[in-house]
Amino acid sequence: MNIILLGPPGAGKGTVAKLLTEYDGSVQISTGDMLRQAVKEGTPLGKEAKSYMERGDLVPDTLIMRIMEERLAQPDCKKGFILDGFPRTIPQAEALKGLLERMGIRLDMVVNLDVPREVILERLTTRRTCSDPNCQEIYNVKSSPPNPDGTCKKCGSLTVQRDDETEEAINFRLATYLEKTAPLISYYEKEGILKTFLSLSSKETVEEIKKALHRKS
């Protein structure tokens, strides 16, 4: 399956993407994870992206398209892919459309995760992420906490709050989402491949997505 996950920051795109890869063996492609890795490694691309990311702003479309063209050309994408955090703007969606046409790839569904704003704010401020770039397991201090000493249950590294998860950066990310990313909902509605899921529990949402995919195939 080739799927795009749309939704505001904190909608659970990462969690839903992981569960879907377990279901159909496709690969998860998270531009956020790829960028954070590049920043950690200090690559030229990471250096370019860093300041945008810290203030919760989007990195330039051209930079994202460079990453995505390279990523989608890799052979593992033939198993199907779940795009998590991309596209984020209309120009990115247009560029993706051209890219997929050239590659002869069809999108199966654009999944729009709809989550009330209060739920999002609560989730983002209580989120902790494993600091090991190879793990990046996500925790929530209330619903799925790390070990009592704050270390990761999977790898033992310290879990931390991301730079862009301060209240100020979160408000900026939500405003950016409404301005730049939310227009993609009607963009993909017009393309006839959008499906919206009211998502309060990632697990339940994944079950609904599976049913919807099943009906399509």
Q: Active-site residues: which are they?
A: 13, 88, 127, 162, 173
Stretch that binds Zn ion, among 15-23, 26-34, 144-152, 182-190 (CB under 5 A): 144-152
Instruction: Decide which of Zn ion, ligand ADP, none touches 164; Cβ closer than 5 to 8 Å per partner kind.
Output: ligand ADP
Q: Token pair of 207, please?
A: 């079950």
Residue 4 tokens, joined: 């795009």
Task: Pick the closer one to ligand ADP by CB: 9 or 146.
Answer: 9
**137 is a site residue for Zn ion (CB under 5 A):** yes
Judged by beta carbon, residue 2 or residue 37, the one nearer Zn ion is 37
* Closer to ligand ADP by Cβ: residue 23 or 52: 52
How far apart, in Å, are the Cα atoms of 184 and each of 62, 69, 110, 193, 200?
A: 18, 20, 10, 12, 21
153 touching Zn ion, by CB under 5 A? no
Site stretch for Zn ion (CB under 5 A), options 10-18, 52-60, 80-88, 135-143:
135-143
Decide which of Zn ion, ligand ADP, none touches 135; Cβ closer than 5 to 8 Å per partner kind: Zn ion
Other residues' Cβ atoms within 10 Å of the Cβ of residue 123: 17
- In angstroms, what is the minimal distance from the CB of 10 to Zn ion? 20
Binding partner selected for residue 137 from Zn ion, ligand ADP, none, CB under the kind-specific 5 to 8 Å limit: Zn ion
Residue number, 160 or 178, with CB nearest to Zn ion = 160
User: What's the min distance (Å) between Cβ of 133 and ligand ADP?
Assistant: 13
